[in-house]
Amino acid sequence: NAGVTQTPKFRVLKTGQSMTLLCAQDMNHEYMYWYRQDPGMGLRLIHYSVGEGTTAKGEVPDGYNVSRLKKQNFLLGLESAAPSQTSVYFCASSRRGTNYGYTFGSGTRLTVV
């Protein structure tokens, strides 16, 4: 099993450009999440999904959009990138319910110049 796969692994964007980060999981997990990790800030939740066709806002959703058209995929979009969105983005998935751990992808390092 591949687990959680994120593409791309690295990307440099110019301010104002758009892009989509793809997360794919092959574990049949119901829940999926997008976090960003910044130095000294830990991980902060951007958006999450509790099932196909559903999405919800997390702690820092501004400037991002998401879609979950298929259960195995969770897409994170930046419509107009800003330097403040320079970060490492992590996707994670988990089984339905509260008492399960997350499986994380290996991350996407995004730089906005």
By CB under 8 A, is residue 14 in contact with another protein? Answer: no
The answer to whether the beta carbons of residues 108 and 86 sit under 8 Å apart is no
By CB under 8 A, is residue 27 in contact with another protein? Answer: no
Q: For residue 41, how many other CB atoms are within 10 A of its CB?
A: 10
Restricted to residues 42-81, the positions that interact with another protein (CB under 8 A) are 42-45, 48-50, 56, 58
Q: Which residues contact 62 (CB under 8 A, 6 or more apart)?
A: none
Among 1, 14, 62, 101, binds another protein (CB under 8 A): 101
Size of the site for another protein (CB under 8 A): 30
